[in-house]
Structure 1
Amino acid sequence: MLKVQEIRELIKLIDESTINEFTYENEGTTVKMKKGEVVLRSENATQQQVKEVIPTPPIEEKNESNQPKAVENNQPKEKEIARSEENLKEITSPMVGTFYSASSPEAEPYVKVGSKVKKDSVVCIIEAMKLFNEIEAEVQGEIVEILVENGQLLEYGQPLFLVKPE
């Protein structure tokens, strides 16, 4: 049976590709994916179905002249305003993977809000393809916000921490 992490990775790969439909069979388990939904069906004695709906991009509306409508959002997000006013720096994910705040479940997190970091300070671990990669701050300052949760899947370039530089 596929692990949840493996299914998530498959979903991500299919979502980012041009493939519209995908089927995977292994040891009595069939995973079928179509853009827009994922169906996991186990062929064991107990029949189970699990559906996870993946949001699809909104359909673009057009005006009378068949041109795309301009989406108006004149109010910037409050967090974006705060970031620019305080001149905060983001520590971003250098890869796709899973975020871990500590070296093991029993260990203390590398950093907390208020922690002082140097450029070479390890701030977290990102697991990608069974490899654990230590991520360094690359900026000196104080952690003011942690933007992700322990065990969360990450995208390339996703903000992880906000740092007030010194």
Structure 2
Amino acid sequence: MDIKEIQNLIKFVAKSGASEVKLEMDDIKITIKTGSDDKAESTTYVQQMPMGAAPMQQTHAPAVASQTPTAVPASDENSKYITIKSPIIGTFYRKSSPDKPMFVEVGKTIKEGDVLCVIEAMKLFNEIESEVSGKIVKILVDDSSPVEFDQPLFLVDPS
């Protein structure tokens, strides 16, 4: 996770109204605490751990106003595909309710504006629409599983 992703996460948490968020991944632990409504401040502690080692570094990163999307390097076999990423943190669902059909399946052709999935965040179900046209090659997330901001969800072949 690079500094731009951390900055985007800080912005998202500040806008969400949450008072504290803790995120732990394989090599990094992040705790974001936002101030009360009277204060417009947030405190972020980032603890990065090298592979197989104890925690080594602790950094204080202030909230930053710039928001720049980050590109994830694609592997050679997937470089011809477009990756659709999660715009928010939440729970990924492939259908609108248990008795409804899946929004998309592998092999289905999609166009801009088609609903691909829903992500539940803070009891709100957000429809995620496609920004590209093409064919779904791979679904990268299991149904009803948590997703992070900017996590790859689908691979789409634009040809």
Which amino acid letter does the alignment assign opposite residue 93 of structure 1? S
CA–CA separation in structure 1 for the residues paired with 2:153 and 2:51: 30
Q: Does 1:151 pair with 2:159? A: no
Q: Does 1:81 pair with 2:81? A: no
Which amino acid letter does the alignment assign opposite residue 77 of structure 2? A
**Runs of 5+ in structure 2 lacking a partner?**
1-17, 24-29, 34-47, 54-73
**Cα offsets for 1:97-116 (capped at 9, x unmatched):** 00000000111110000011
Please tell me whether Structure 1 or Structure 2 has the larger radius of gyration of its CA atoms.
Answer: 1
Percent identical pairs in the alignment equals 45
TM-score of the pair, normalised by structure 2: 0.58
Aligned residues: CA RMSD: 2.6
CA–CA separation in structure 1 for the residues paired with 2:125 and 2:32: 29
CA–CA separation in structure 2 for the residues paired with 1:157 and 1:14: 17
CA–CA separation in structure 1 for the residues paired with 2:142 and 2:104: 13
Q: Of residues 78, 89, 96 in structure 2, which corresponds to 1:96? A: 89
* Contact 2:110 2:133 survives alignment (8 Å): yes
Cα 1:57–1:139, aligned 2, differ >3 Å: closer, same or farther?
Answer: same
* Contact 2:21 2:31 survives alignment (8 Å): yes
TM-score of the pair, normalised by structure 1: 0.55
Pairwise mapping of residues 1-166 of structure 1 onto structure 2 (< 5 A)?
13-15=21-23, 16-17=30-31, 57-58=49-50, 80-84=75-79, 87-166=80-159
Runs of 4+ that moved beyond 2 A: 56-61
**Cα offsets for 1:69-120 (capped at 9, x unmatched):** xxxxxxxxxx812111xx1001100000000000001111100000111010
* Contact 2:21 2:32 survives alignment (8 Å): no
Cα 1:139–1:130, aligned 2, differ >3 Å: closer, same or farther?
Answer: same
CA–CA separation in structure 2 for the residues paired with 1:131 and 1:98: 10
Deviation at residue 14 of structure 1 after TM alignment:
2.3
